[in-house]
Amino acid sequence: MTKKVFFLLVMFLSLSAFPNTIRAKEKSTVHATTKTTEIPPEIKIMIDRLYEIKEIDKSTLNRAERKELLKEVRTIKKSVRASGNGIYISSGAIIIILLLIIIL
């Protein structure tokens, strides 16, 4: 049993070490324009605020202001992620799930 698990683990890790050479076809501009119209206005306002914060010269700000901007960025990112319909799974969680599937 352990040799089988070890072999599968080595095979999985060796296959994941090679870079993916297949390139996806670039999206056409038609899809990009339709996708931007689907974004709700509240989310668009939050994303625009994130871009504004990114463009601010942070060297002129004091520590408290930088901390406040960081808190604002975190809350905006949480609310944008919460409004999406997707499920976010880390790569470590995916590897653990796959190992459990292989073992069981």
Contacts of 39 (CB under 8 A, 6+ apart): 47
What contacts 24+ positions apart, CB below 8 Å, involve 50-57?
50/76, 50/77
* Type of residue numbered 71: K
Contact (CB, 8 A) for 76 and 50: yes
- pLDDT for position 8: 78
pTM assigned to the model: 0.44
Which DSSP symbol is given to 59? G
Tens-binned pLDDT, residue by residue, of the chain (104 aa): 678 888 777 777 776 665 555 555 555 555 444 444 577 788 888 889 989 988 988 889 899 999 999 999 999 888 887 776 556 677 888 888 888 888 87
Distance CA 43, CA 85 (A): 13
